[in-house]
Structure 1
Amino acid sequence: MANVAVLGAGSWGTALSVVLADNYHDVRLWTHRKDQAQQINETHHNEKYLQEVSLPSNIVAYNDMEAALQDVTAVVVVVPTKAIREVCQQMKSVLSHKVTIIHATKGIDPDSLKRVSEMMEEELPDDIYEDIVVLSGPSHAEEVGLRQPTTVTVSSHTMKEAEIAQDLFINEHFRVYTNPDVVGVELGGALKNIIALGAGISDGLGYGDNAKSALITRGLAEIARLGTSMGANPLTFAGLTGVGDLIVTCTSQHSRNWRAGNMLGKGYDLHDVLEHMGMVVEGVRTTNAAYKLSQSQQIEMPITQGIEQLLFHGAAPKEVVDQLMTRGRRHEMEDLANILGDQYSS
């Protein structure tokens, strides 16, 4: 069995630590908060983020990154997008041997417009890893921690590295597929958070299932339009990290992005929403990044544009919905072709 460091002791990092521990790996769960590390080691619970889950004894929390990374064979990075570069810089300063690096963060940097793996590649020296592996898919941490059936995808440009990650995580509760489309897997996982904000807004406004179903479907078309323009395989968006992740994030109260959108739809101010959540809502930053990407790629993304106007320019939720409902006529098959491939268009 392997020594694995998990960097980031939020709900998702903790849940993935449970999966690894169930597979008999020795897990070092790193947090930048000394008090959190002490509490986890003393109580075997992560009270703030995943309090209902008892942590196995082979999960040990660390506050010292150098100690956490000593002699590990794999590193799983599960920190917010805004912390990726800083954590990679810390890794670079203390890691002196080659490891498998996996990230499970779903976002896009609104400043550089880089995907998470691209930021990591810019910050980490080539001699400590073979290739970055992405882990993504429809997976609420609360359910993973309770060992409820979950299926995800791992992706890397180097299939050997993806298969190493697959072997580390796969078990009877946590099924892992491989997919070589890194761009599509990362973008699907990041962009669905925007649509989840929209689904929450729709529910907060009191609209029904018809509206949410339309939002999810049209949101998938937006994701596919931008993704394929950036080199993704359109079929990826019909898989776990596309429509699968979109469904689970848009329809569950476990979703931070849905909960944040729901409060926005009820009229709460964004600042108050984020204060109330107490955890990172990746969809907010990703909306800003995706809107900028849509402008640079000259891709039409009306849902993303509407949510960007609501988050950053004071547009009212109902005003955004009304604008979407009164757009000009479209031919649906044009967008289905983006999802399924041009060969399916009429």
Structure 2
Amino acid sequence: MKKLLLAFAIAIAYPTFAADRGEVLYQQCLEQAGTSSETAKATCADKTSDFYKKYITEYYLEIFDRFQKTNPVIASNFENAQKEWIANRNKECKTKDNPSLCLMQQNEQRAHELETMKDNLSLADETAEKESNPTEVITHDKVRRVYIFDKREIVEGDGYGPYAVTYSFSTVTTGIQWLDDFLLAPYGEKKTTREEIKKEMEEDFQEYIANIGGISEHWNKSSITFDEQKHHIAVFTNHIEQYFGGNYIIDAYHKLYIDLEKKLLLSLDSLFTPSNLAQAKELLWNTFQNSEQGKEFTIEKSDFEISGDFEFTPDGLEFKYGQGSLLPSVFGPVSYTIPNEKIELLLKPEYRFLLIYDI
């Protein structure tokens, strides 16, 4: 059984997130201390060691839970192996001249092993799923546009007019039934039918006309288009155009990344582990603070949220905020980007290939 566990722990080609960040943390701590004395080394080692412990716990629990669901015997052996490692680590480091440095190095190695084991287990699960459920392939010649609702009516409003009110929602058919059904609801958040969407939009349309005011055209348009397929991820764009009077027109493009194997619309929870999502939020907060808008308009850090509207661009992972969602409406829509080199190791390994590098 130990051989099995060791086999899963074979190192992968790139550095792990925990190891990479831990080394930076240790060096920054020494630089801030302004000395490389044994006391400073021990203090910084303790701080970095705690950082590794956090990831050891996270990875261990994830692996144990996976084993517990598939094979309780392996889970029990894995638990015993972890307890044995802790005992051996503590025993060995007690004999060292600098126990803190020893603990840091041991924890770094274990974090690396567990992260690699976790990634390899995920890869094994994905490979098995691919063999039983081959990835669908979407080609542009198969894609067809279909209008679910498209209505335009000339109305009078408050004694003015006539002017037009337009409601429209169009999507695409791909030849993959579950995916076509998935795309029916705006943003793919839920499954519904064409008839349900038509009924809902007709009710909204009639209600809006009955209560309309103003002297200008009004419209609410949404259209989904197919962009490309990258391995098992199908990329679509939802273009939303809205104007209901006043000074502002909404003209927004939202990317939809759909995992064809998992039948899942990628979200922040899909792309990041909870701890890595927290790291990404911190990076985004710093980016916002250093931006022109962040310097001009101050918000409390506790009020800052990471946007679920994201896009992979050549500059990095871009997070978009609609008009008025983060800053006052006068700022319009805004977006902030975390560069590829900073976001790459935060992403789950299976989705890092979505990053676009501008060569």
TM-score (normalizing by structure 2):
0.21
More strand by share: 2
With CA pairs under 8 Å and 6+ residues apart, which has the higher RCO, 1 or 2? Answer: 1
TM-score (normalizing by structure 1):
0.22
